[in-house]
Amino acid sequence: MTAGGITAEPPIAAAPPPSAGPGRLGRYLTSAIFLAPALFMLGVWMVYPAVYTIIRSFFGQTGFFGHWVGIDNYKTLFTTSTLTTAIKNNAIWVAVVPALVTAIGLVFAVLTERVRWAVAFKTVVFLPMAISAFATGVTWRIMYQQDPGLGAVNALGKTISGVFSPAGVLSSASPSIPALQSKGGALVLKTATHPGGVALLGLTGIAPDQVPKSAVQAVQPAPKPGDVVGAVWRDFKPGGGKVGVLEKGEVGLPGVTVELRDASGKTLQSTKSKPDGSFDFSKVPAGTYHAAIGAQTFAKPFGGYAWLGPNLIVPSLLISYIWIWAGFAMVVIGAGLASMPRDVLEAARTDGATEWQTFRRVTVPLLMPVLSVVFVTMIINVLKVFDIVYALAPQSEYAKANVIALAMYFAAFQGGGNFGVGSAIAVFLFLLVIPVLALNIRRFKRES
Amino acid sequence: MAAAAPAVEIPAPRDSAAAKIVRTVTRGPLHLALIAIGGLWLVPTIGLFITSILPASALASKGWWQVFSHPSTATWANYDALFHNSGLIQALKTTAYIAVGNTVLVVIIGAMAGYAFAWLDFPGRDWIFIGVIGLLVVPLQMALIPMFRLYNTFGLFDTWYGIALFHTAFGLPFAVFLLRNFFVGLPKDILESARIDGANEIVIFLRLILPLGLPAIASLAIFQFLWTWNDLLVALTFGQNTTPITVWIAGQLREFGTSIDIIAPASFISLVVPLCVFFAFQRYFVQGLLAGSVK
């Protein structure tokens, strides 16, 4: 049998032997009736259009055929920046997604293999497969919002960054008196102080909702011999108030890191202000000092990454796409895993192979056929990717997020109106898919 | 030695109680990791659902997870408004027409052709079959431009059946491939004896092939249904006023922030049907997936 072997199972010749005789013509007629609808549809919707599109790709922009332009449309395809971006992006998709999806699927399949509640896990991971790529795009658009207060991805980022570099208590404050000067992020009081002295650190520019909740009326600290005392307070009350003076209606700023620095700027002591804004450095040896508010007080909170902005849009798309397809890979690879000869694995273990060795040297090689089916299927899928880009990328970022299928759609429809270039892009896509699919079919043939 | 024995039956000596405890403890991290991954995988879908039950005003300032601290903000008002939105109702109907119409057509036409390729005899059968399978490689982009012209000429543009027919044609190579392979594996003697009893091919097809081929037909039907229900590109190209739900939502996407109280619930409605189909027929879905990794 020639290429008929594609399909495994009993070879085509296994069908009933033709019982020669008068019924032959009738049988052919029956066959024709059974085949006619399928062949008609395939002819009209697939064969004719494919031929038309190939021819059309050598003709100009408009009209039934326009005019002959040779390979100009293909030249356009490789020289227009939005189209080359599409090709480049598709190359990134092909380089990243199939490998990652296969790897993640393999890991998930192996991990769940001996877990009792594997079905629940598999269902959850497989779920996105049933959802349209379009709805996925909408879903992830909600996830990717830049404001960490709105987008879950950035909220997670904020939580993580909060652990390593927490936002300051007063991220937007500025000094109220000129003597308080910025130095390396910190605010240093230029006026020197001594043991028994008072350092007043007034701040303004703090929105009412930014004032810490525990803040109470600021109190003028009384000097203490041997100590440097002072207050950090919001040097502002409704109506303004006097600069540099602690007045009624002005609140202390609690939790602010206050540092005592020597003349060279070295921090000797550090403390946190109380609810009324007061602080106290005790047992300070005689000398000249400067009070300062630590830089961490003003650390800006994590503002969120622009996942849907020009720089991150492609990675964002890849992540969402992997979220959809990991379940597919897991299920197919899991099926392969389930049909693997157990005794080979057992033998490896009995021979003293570690779990990792068994995985690396036995499981993976035995799974190779399944892994490559998943890999190749994913290549075809990402070459044709369209919906998720259309739904997830904001229109302003289409140029950056462009892929071949999207470029084809916008070249021919939606105001593009260039059927010549649109056809050329379609043919290009066709040419990309053929070898990959041929590879897949050939393997099917070999396996059967 | 141990490898040759039926390993399942004989408890290996290392399976002592202590070893079991050790194993459970060492596998604790695995369970935790799986729970974490599963949770991570669920978050986007849950997020979409919660977003869909929050008023737009609540979503302007805080993320959807606010619902956990302020459950009272949740409301069905968005859904209520949507079910009074004639545009959405129409879009849902169109989606259902396209998905059901296409599924029925693919199953019938695909089964007929599959039967012919599996059990009927006619000249050039193998070559025609190979030709049909070969069409699997044609990406639907190849047909968009010519069919756009043709649809305009024949009045199929902007109709639900125009969209359904397009899907049918592109679903056929896979359908024929899947069903022919399944039908070929059906017991030959049943068919032979039916023929000897004088049943004609149409009766055999209806009374024997279709019932016996049900598992494969179910897989195919679910695939086709989900594929067309979830389609965006074909409907975007061939619909203008006749739009399924995906295209209808896409029309709202331009004003993502302000229309979120329409977009999120509509998206969720659009995925409820596929999810139900998926959960109801999960087994067939996976079978079809395993059979069809060529597509």
Residue that is last in its domain, among A241, A268, A298: A298
Same domain, A108 and A218: no
Shortest distance between the Cα of A193 and any Cα of chain B, in A, equals: 45
* A residues 28-67 lying closer than 8 A (beta carbon) to B: 28, 30-32, 34-35, 37-39, 41-42, 44-50, 52-53, 56, 64
Residue A66 maps to a domain:
no
Domain check: are A269 and A386 in the same one?
Answer: no
In a domain, A207, yes or no: yes
Give the best residue of A116, A136, A139 to mutate against chain B (max B CB count within 10 A). Answer: A139
Q: Are residues A434 and A317 in the same domain?
A: yes
Between positions 2 and 31 of A, the ones with CB within 8 A of B are 2-4, 6-10, 12, 14-18, 27-28, 30-31
Give the integer Cα–Cα distance in Å for A403 and A406. Answer: 5
Please tell me if residue A156 touches chain B, with a CB cutoff of 8 Å.
no
Task: Say if CB A151 and CB B63 are below 8 A apart.
Answer: yes
CATH code of the domain in which A375 resides: 1.10.3720.10
Q: Nearest CA of chain B to the CA of A32: how many Å?
A: 9
Q: Is there a contact between B146 and A423 (Cβ–Cβ < 8 Å)?
A: no
User: CA-CA distances (angstroms) from residue A189 to A142, A243, A263, A395, B129?
Assistant: 45, 15, 12, 50, 87
Written as tens digits, the pLDDT of chain A (448 aa) is: 333 333 334 444 444 444 445 577 888 888 999 999 999 999 999 999 999 999 999 988 876 666 888 888 999 899 988 899 999 999 999 999 999 999 999 999 998 887 888 888 988 998 888 888 888 888 898 889 888 878 888 888 888 877 777 777 777 777 888 888 888 778 888 888 888 888 888 888 887 777 788 888 888 888 888 888 888 888 887 777 778 888 888 888 888 888 888 888 888 888 888 888 888 888 888 888 888 888 888 777 777 788 888 889 999 999 999 999 999 999 889 988 888 888 888 888 888 888 888 888 888 999 998 898 899 889 989 999 999 999 899 888 888 999 999 999 999 998 778 899 999 999 999 999 888 777 766 766 665 5
Residues A194 and A241 in one domain: yes
Residue with token string 């349209």: A132
- Best mutation site among B137, B153, B268 for testing chain A: the one with the most A CBs within 10 Å? B137
Task: Pick the residue of B119, B200, B267, B276 with the most A CBs within 10 A to test the interface with A by mutation.
Answer: B267
Which residues are paired to A291 by β-bridges?
A: A260
pLDDT at B258: 73
Output the pLDDT for position A3: 35
For residue A16, tell me if it sits in a domain.
no
Residue B63 has its nearest CB partner, among A64, A150, A441, at A150
**Whether residues A141 and A89 fall in one domain:** yes
Based on the fold, state whether residues A197 and A222 are members of the same structural domain. Answer: yes
The verdict on a CB contact (< 8 Å) between B116 and A423 is no
Distance in angstroms (rounded) separating the CA atoms of residues A293 and A256: 7
- Model pLDDT for residues B7-32, shown as the tens digit of each residue: 344 444 455 676 667 666 677 888 89
Partner residue opposite B286 with nearest CB, options A16, A152, A331: A331
Residue with tokens 């408890």: B11
Name residues 110-169 of chain B within 8 A of A (Cβ): 110, 112-113, 115-123, 125-126, 128-130, 132-133, 135-139, 141-150, 165-166, 168-169
Helix, strand, or coil (residue B176): helix
Count of structural domains, chain A: 3
Q: Does residue A340 sit at the B interface (CB-CB below 8 Å)?
A: no
Which residues does B225 contact at the CB level (< 8 Å), separation at least 6?
Answer: B99, B100, B102, B103, B277
Q: Is residue A129 included in any domain, yes or no?
A: yes
Q: Which residue among A298, A327, A347 closes a domain?
A: A298
| Whether residue A313 is found in the same domain as residue A438 | yes
Q: Among the three residues A298, A321, A354, which one is the final residue of a domain in this structure?
A: A298
Same domain? For A108 and A212 the reply is no
The DSSP code for B72 is G
Same domain, A104 and A184: no
Considering the domain boundaries, does residue A197 fall inside one?
A: yes
Residue A15 lies in a domain: no
Give the per-residue pLDDT at A427: 96
Domain encompassing residue A126: 72-155+307-447
B19 touches A: beta carbon within 8 Å? no
Q: Quick one: A268 and A228 in the same domain?
A: yes
Smallest Cα distance from B16 to chain A, Å:
17
Q: Do residues A259 and A354 share a domain?
A: no
Task: Spell out the domains of chain B, with CATH numbers in brackets.
Answer: 17-75 (no CATH), 82-291 (1.10.3720.10)
Do the domain assignments include residue A64? Answer: no
Q: What tokens were used for A155? A: 């909220």
What are the pLDDT digits (tens) for B136-190?
A: 888 999 999 999 999 999 999 999 999 999 999 999 999 999 999 889 888 888 8
Per-residue pLDDT of chain B (295 residues; tens, 9 = 90+): 333 333 344 444 455 676 667 666 677 888 899 999 999 999 999 999 999 998 888 888 788 888 888 888 888 888 998 888 888 999 999 999 999 999 999 999 999 999 999 988 888 898 899 889 888 888 999 999 999 999 999 999 999 999 999 999 999 999 999 999 889 888 888 888 888 888 888 888 998 899 999 989 998 998 899 889 989 999 999 988 889 999 999 888 877 777 888 889 999 998 888 888 888 887 787 777 776 554 4
Same domain, A269 and A327: no
DSSP B258: T
Domain with residue A255: its CATH number is 2.60.40
Residue A4 lies in a domain: no
Q: Chain B within 8 Å of A243 (Cβ-Cβ)?
A: no
Q: Do A138 and B289 touch (CB under 8 A)?
A: no
